[in-house]
Amino acid sequence: DSVVNRIAAGEVIQRPVSAVKELVENSLDAGSTSVNVAVKDGGLKLIQVSDDGHGIRYEDLPILCERHTTSKLSKYEDLLSIKSMGFRGEALASMTYVGHVMVTTITKGQLHGYRASYRDGVMENEPKACAAVKGTQIMVENLFYNMIARRKTLQNSSDDYTKIVDLLSRFAIHHTNVSFSCRKHGASRSDVHSIATSSRMDSIRTVYGVSVARNLIKIEASDNDSSTSLFAMDGFISNSNYVAKKTTMVLFINDRLVECSALKRAIEIVYAATLPKASKPFIYMSIVLPPEHVDVNVHPTKREVSLLNLEVIIEKIQSVVESKLRDSDE
Ligand code: ADP
Ligand code: MG
């Protein structure tokens, strides 16, 4: 039933930035080394994500946007870690219930690509042969065209493009082997532009600027001693010279961009106690945990993650952050 599907889809894709996140994650899952985003009208008119990944096979195109279509659950081990990967096969399908989706793709060794468009989970015509170089381009047009109230609310808030730029900045500093760009459609200048194979520090400098990069301290921790606390962490935190009114916390767990408000608060507390005169911190942190210890919330839109042994992990990170801040302040 299309109304039910539309409402469910509107839950998965709450705003343009949620669509962009899903599309970029698909590009990364496809092994891309270059991901380019262009957006019109904060994403309401157009979201375009182009990548150079492995592409989509011709025979997969007809069912691509049906719910629960996924190519990412082939092995038994995948089933074990399904929780850490979030919802499967929901994103593209959802987009077709609240917008118009067009896919252009070419797989390795093919002479030409194919283009197909989708509505309400269904491919509209036979895929058409077309010119294509490498990878996949997905266009989502007129997002929420059938959800008048949602569209109105979003039209009045001009900050969706800012949210998209912020999202791409986060991906860019974590995936340093991938180049990212994000621009308003038709603009010659991109607002995020990262170059692949740069060091983490280089990409932070490119994306967040020198004033952030020059005030960072490297942090690292790992524990392989006991299976209950098995984890590795590395990243950068700001020193006492960094100035900002709000905390920026860029957190990746097992290479997925997530949020953990308890961890964020715990680090803010260490800053307040150790560097009382410092501003709110900038934090980039990548944590690796056994997949079965990570539970991305049952709700697909919530990035909030829950972790087994969260208290242990928080304490460990707090002590690393505290000692690094003390060292740097001497
Ligand atoms: P999921 O990512 O959970 O599998 P999606 O709805 O996001 O579900 O995508 C459905 C499927 O479409 C993916 O499993 C993948 O096979 C294919 N796909 C989507 N985007 C791309 C892309 N950019 N490159 C290659 N394959 C893609
Ligand atoms: Mg996906």
Per-position pLDDT tens, the chain of length 330:
778 889 888 888 999 999 999 999 999 999 999 999 999 999 999 999 999 999 999 999 999 998 877 777 655 555 555 543 445 778 999 999 999 999 999 999 999 999 999 999 999 999 999 999 999 999 999 999 999 999 998 987 668 999 999 999 999 999 999 999 999 999 999 999 998 877 999 999 999 999 999 999 999 998 766 655 578 999 999 999 999 999 999 999 999 899 999 999 999 999 999 999 999 999 999 999 888 788 765 555 667 888 888 898 999 999 999 999 999 877
- Contact between 285 and 318 (Cβ < 8 Å): no
Which of 23, 26, 90 best tests ligand 1's pocket when mutated (most atoms within 8 Å of CB)? 26
- Interacting residues of 132 by C-beta distance below 8 A, sequence separation 6+: 104, 105, 106, 112, 113, 114
**Which pLDDT belongs to residue 228?**
54
pLDDT number for residue 317: 95
200-208 vs 160-174: helix crossing angle, rounded to 10: 160
Q: What is the ipTM of this complex?
A: 0.99
User: What token pair was written down for 96?
Assistant: 């077709």
Residues 34/172, Cβ–Cβ less than 8 Å: no
Pocket lining: 92 vs ligand 1, CB cutoff 6 Å? yes
Q: Does ligand 1 have an atom closer than 6 angstroms to the CB of 69?
A: yes
Please work out whether the CB of residue 91 comes within 6 Å of at least one atom of ligand 1: yes
Closest-approaching ligand to the CA atom of 89: 1
Question: Which atom of ligand 1 lies at the shortest distance from residue 138's CA?
Answer: 23
State in Å: Cα 71 to ligand 1 middle. Answer: 7
**Any ligand 1 atom below 6 A from CB of 26:** yes
Q: What are phi and psi of 251, to 5 degrees?
A: -120, 125
pTM score over 0.90: yes
Does residue 72's CB lie within 6 angstroms of at least one atom of ligand 1?
Answer: yes
Whole-number pLDDT of residue 86: 44
pLDDT reported for residue 3: 85
pLDDT at site 303: 75
Tell me 303's DSSP state: -
Atom of ligand 1 nearest to the CA of 53: 24
Which atom of ligand 1 approaches the CA of 22 most closely?
A: 7
- In short, whether 52's Cβ falls inside 6 Å of ligand 1 is no
How remote is the CA of residue 318 from the centroid of ligand 1, in Å? Answer: 37
Q: Which numbered ligand comes closest to the C-alpha of 85?
A: 1
